[in-house]
Amino acid sequence: MTPPATTAPLTGRARAAAWATLAVGGLSRRLKMGSGSVVGGRVGLALEPDLLARLGRGRTAALVTGTNGKTTTTRLLVSALGGTGRVATNAVGSNLPAGLAAALAAAPGLRAVLEVDEGYLGRAKEALEPEVVVLLNLSRDQLDRVSEVRMVAGRFREALAGFDDGTVVANADDPLVVWGASTAPKVYWVGAGQLWRSDAVGCPACDGPVTFEPGGVGWSSGCGLRRPDPVLSLDGDDVVDAAGRRRPLRLSLPGRFNRANAVMALAAAEVLGVDMAGALSAMAHVGDVEGRFSVVTSGTVQARLLLAKNPAGWTELLDLLEGGDEPVVIGINARIADGHDPSWLWDVAFERLAGRHVVATGERARDLAVRLRYAGVSHAVVDDQLDALAASGARRVEYVGNYTAFQDLRRRLAERPGRPRQTEPPAPVLRAFRPAAAVPVARQPAETTGSAGQKRRRRLSDGVSALRVVVVHPDLLGTYGDAGNGRVVAARAAWRGASVELLLASSGRPLPAAGDLYLLGGGEDGPELQAGAELASSPLGQAVAQGAVMLGVCAGYQLLGTSFPDATGASRPGLGFLDVRTFKGPGRRAVGELLAEPLASSPLHEALTGFENHSGHTQLGQQVAPLANVRHGIGNGDGTEGAWSGNVFGTYLHGPVLARNPAFADLLLARATGEAPLALDDDEERALRTERLGAVQHPAWRRVRVRRP
Ligand code: GLN
């Protein structure tokens, strides 16, 4: 192993700033205000803005970034390099400049392994001139803060162009990572695998489709972007090198995703001169990473603590939970570090938890409860996270929290060491809900031709002819959880006794012509363009002419209009079903809670609540009417929100909109069937609406705006 490099002497100012970083951090810890790394680092950076570069000078550094697995991979790499006593690292996960500065100030002279927020890779790389940059994976996460995933990958490209002095270790199985890394002169490709592919269906380089080899690992795009040959790969429980040599990967950490993290860490360790056998045995002992995967006792309950904060993370975690029968307690918050929009819950296949009891908890438990209701998962809502652990009455539970929910629970557990919390499980705040089974979803349209008109105006209750709900190109227009709209309308029709077909109609295949209800969701600029090109020659126009009901959300709304902007801002022709045109809005991207009151002329009569996240502004023509007036947020950009004409509706609301506004779902169903739907027990939706309508009045929301990158 190479010895730690010695640090170049600090200037007087940098020395004072480093001292202040540690002193303020220490004080904050003594006052029990947290780990102290952020506040300390902020003070240090205020005194010496160049502190990161000064503290990094002369030492070897590895930076770890990506959407999921940063903290664990960093921890594994630290172990491979000799453990925390011999490496400077931000173990608690403070991965913005202040946290990085604090980690370096705390361990002068030592080699550094630092996890870095995806948005700060460029700045950290400039300051620290690392030997290794590890790119794990990229997927939708905190979209309100980082905008669109392709934009993050684009920033990686800028940051890594001309990176001659170091090596990028990158996951060859993630097309967004490959595109992001491919400006770097030296890349060590790793076949770490990636279960979640939904953010890379559209090629980041050319906007064409990416084709994944069925059942295999290969993928390619028409423009030539393809899976590079990896030097090191994960194959089951083994690591395989380019020469085909296999080594067993023995980890204390559970799950495929941790084996993937370990292979990435192994490659980085190799670049830093650590022999593979030594690195493997050092990593085998890591069993708990900042509380993740640990088993804790709270009262009489033993809980395994797991963290999942986005659909990609949940996809891996659902595999890990498979086969168990313990209740699952799920904590969801939506603070800055989580992302303010939990619409992503609709991209998680919670249907896989059917048959298990779930307790929804955390600050956004109500969003989760509505999601579970439509997933057909029996659940209860318990606001307090510690109470939630006890609520199922079981002795062992699995706890899965997103970022701040997880941190909160750990803090609460630490404050009450070993003290039994309750003897009796508390009564859930809402009743346990046992919904009817979720509606089956077909990914492959059963039939692609036929006339919508022949079958339209069926009665929901006749039970003979199926109501056909088509989610249009969820692979391209599904980034913001809007495919959930399909689940909502289909379930609401089914619960009323109708027979329903829910079709997820991916791009690249003929779109079913005989749909009764077509739903288009939000998407990134590139995939929006791709969907627009494909839909121009689809049977959607014919379906509209025959009176099919249509709802477009955000990108989907923009596409229904006469023109919309591409990523460069250039105007592109839309489908022309609504007399609206969209252009890039002035100033900041519109991001935050949106609340709008229906106009007297609108077919909707209840306030609309949801979350918006768009750069486009939409101008309404003579042939359409707005859906509502904006009370809070941006909407169309002129004080109105959405548009409608006949049976075609457009809105900027995510949430998904039909989950947060069931009256809107029922309006679409009424239009599609010609009959007024019976009332349903919507207690959980109402509880969510009440909470959101209350939250939006809070002044904090006025601050939730991010700049257009
Ligand atoms: N990419 C489009 C915009 O930024 C749509 C975004 C979305 O669908 N949320 O305006």
Nearest of 303, 307, 308, 258 to residue 284 by alpha carbon: 258
Domain with CATH 3.40.50.880 in the chain: 439-699
Classified as helix, coil or strand, 498 is coil
Q: For 80, which DSSP code? A: H
Between the CA of 567 and the centroid of ligand 1 the distance, in Å, is: 10
Would strands 295-298 and 301-307 be described as parallel, antiparallel, or unpaired?
Answer: antiparallel
Residue linked to tokens 């059963």: 446
Cα 557 from Cα 640, distance rounded (Å)? 14
Cα 172 from Cα 242, distance rounded (Å)? 14
Q: Provide the CATH topology of domain 59-283.
A: UDP-N-acetylmuramoyl-L-alanine:D-glutamate ligase (3.40.1190)
Decide: 480 in ligand 1 pocket, CB within 6 A.
yes
Q: Please count the residues of the chain.
A: 709
Between the CA of 109 and the centroid of ligand 1 the distance, in Å, is: 46
Between the CA of 486 and the centroid of ligand 1 the distance, in Å, is: 19
Cα 284 from Cα 234, distance rounded (Å)? 15
Predicted local distance difference test score (pLDDT) of residue 207: 85
The values of phi and psi at residue 573, to 5°, are -70, 135
Q: By alpha-carbon position, which residue is closest to atom 7 of ligand 1?
A: 522
Between the CA of 277 and the centroid of ligand 1 the distance, in Å, is: 48
Helix axes 70-80, 276-284, angle to 10 degrees: 120
Between the CA of 616 and the centroid of ligand 1 the distance, in Å, is: 7
Helix axes 97-106, 12-30, angle to 10 degrees: 100
**Domain 295-434 bears CATH identifier 3.30.530.20:** no
CB 535 within 8 A of CB 572: no
Q: Which of 347, 615, 654 to mutate to test the pocket of ligand 1 (most atoms within 8 A of CB)?
A: 615
CB 87 within 8 A of CB 113: yes
Cα 614 from Cα 559, distance rounded (Å)? 13
Edge-to-edge order in the sheet of strand 628-632: 608-614, 590-598, 628-632, 640-641
Between the CA of 522 and the centroid of ligand 1 the distance, in Å, is: 6
The dihedral through the CA atoms of 76, 80, 84, 89 has a sign that is: negative
Decide: 555 in ligand 1 pocket, CB within 6 A.
yes
Between the CA of 525 and the centroid of ligand 1 the distance, in Å, is: 6
Q: Which of 148, 525, 584 to mutate to test the pocket of ligand 1 (most atoms within 8 A of CB)?
A: 525
CB 127 within 8 A of CB 53: yes
Residue 597, CB-side half-sphere exposure with 13 Å CA sphere? 3
Decide: 392 in ligand 1 pocket, CB within 6 A.
no
Cα 520 from Cα 472, distance rounded (Å)? 5
Domain with CATH 3.40.1190.10 in the chain: 59-283
Nearest of 360, 400, 356 to residue 378 by alpha carbon: 356
Cα 171 from Cα 300, distance rounded (Å)? 42
Q: For 541, which DSSP code? A: H
Q: By alpha-carbon position, which residue is closest to atom 8 of ligand 1?
A: 522
Between the CA of 71 and the centroid of ligand 1 the distance, in Å, is: 30
Q: For 428, which DSSP code? A: P
Q: By alpha-carbon position, which residue is closest to atom 3 of ligand 1?
A: 614
Cα 502 from Cα 515, distance rounded (Å)? 10
Cα 139 from Cα 88, distance rounded (Å)? 28
Decide: 385 in ligand 1 pocket, CB within 6 A.
no
pTM, two decimals, is 0.90
**Taking the CB of residue 7, how many other CB atoms lie within 10 A of it?**
18
Decide: 265 in ligand 1 pocket, CB within 6 A.
no
Q: Which of 485, 528, 653 to mutate to test the pocket of ligand 1 (most atoms within 8 A of CB)?
A: 528
Work out which ligand 1 atom sits closest to the CA atom of 584: 10
Decide: 76 in ligand 1 pocket, CB within 6 A.
no
Q: Alpha carbon of 383 to those of 341, 386, 706: distances in Å?
A: 19, 9, 29
463: left (phi over 0), alpha (psi -120 to 50) or beta: left
Between the CA of 653 and the centroid of ligand 1 the distance, in Å, is: 11
Work out which ligand 1 atom sits closest to the CA atom of 523: 8
Between the CA of 147 and the centroid of ligand 1 the distance, in Å, is: 9
CB 230 within 8 A of CB 194: no
Q: By alpha-carbon position, which residue is closest to atom 5 of ligand 1?
A: 555
Would strands 328-331 and 396-401 be described as parallel, antiparallel, or unpaired?
Answer: parallel
Decide: 614 in ligand 1 pocket, CB within 6 A.
yes
Edge-to-edge order in the sheet of strand 396-401: 295-298, 301-307, 396-401, 328-331, 358-361, 379-381
Decide: 528 in ligand 1 pocket, CB within 6 A.
yes
pLDDT mean values, one per 10 residues, the chain (709 residues): 52 88 86 77 90 93 97 97 93 88 93 95 96 97 85 96 95 98 98 92 89 91 96 96 94 96 98 95 93 92 96 95 95 95 97 94 97 94 95 94 96 72 45 53 52 48 75 94 96 91 93 95 93 95 96 98 95 98 91 95 95 96 97 96 98 98 97 90 95 82 43
Cα 97 from Cα 323, distance rounded (Å)? 41
* CATH entry, 439-699, from 3.20.19.10, 3.60.21.10, 1.20.200.10, 3.40.50.880: 3.40.50.880
Residue linked to tokens 């307090």: 384
Decide: 633 in ligand 1 pocket, CB within 6 A.
no
CB 367 within 8 A of CB 342: yes
Between the CA of 335 and the centroid of ligand 1 the distance, in Å, is: 22
Cα 342 from Cα 383, distance rounded (Å)? 16
Predicted local distance difference test score (pLDDT) of residue 418: 52
Cα 273 from Cα 232, distance rounded (Å)? 15
Q: Which of 558, 560, 594 to mutate to test the pocket of ligand 1 (most atoms within 8 A of CB)?
A: 558
Between the CA of 565 and the centroid of ligand 1 the distance, in Å, is: 10
Decide: 525 in ligand 1 pocket, CB within 6 A.
yes
Q: For 253, which DSSP code? A: S
Residue linked to tokens 């380019």: 242
Q: Alpha carbon of 435 to those of 88, 194, 339, 492: distances in Å?
A: 50, 32, 28, 11
Residue 394, CB-side half-sphere exposure with 13 Å CA sphere? 19
Rg of the chain over Cα atoms, rounded to whole angstroms, equals 26
**Taking the CB of residue 1, how many other CB atoms lie within 10 A of it?**
15
The dihedral through the CA atoms of 84, 89, 92, 98 has a sign that is: positive
Work out which ligand 1 atom sits closest to the CA atom of 589: 4
Q: For 435, which DSSP code? A: P
Between the CA of 591 and the centroid of ligand 1 the distance, in Å, is: 10
User: Cβ neighbours of residue 393 under 8 Å, at least 6 residues apart?
Assistant: 425
Say what the alpha-carbon torsion angle 285, 287, 288, 293 is, to the nearest 10 degrees: 160
Q: Which tokens is 273 given?
A: 């001169």
Predicted local distance difference test score (pLDDT) of residue 55: 93
User: Cβ neighbours of residue 224 under 8 Å, at least 6 residues apart?
Assistant: none
CB 661 within 8 A of CB 684: no
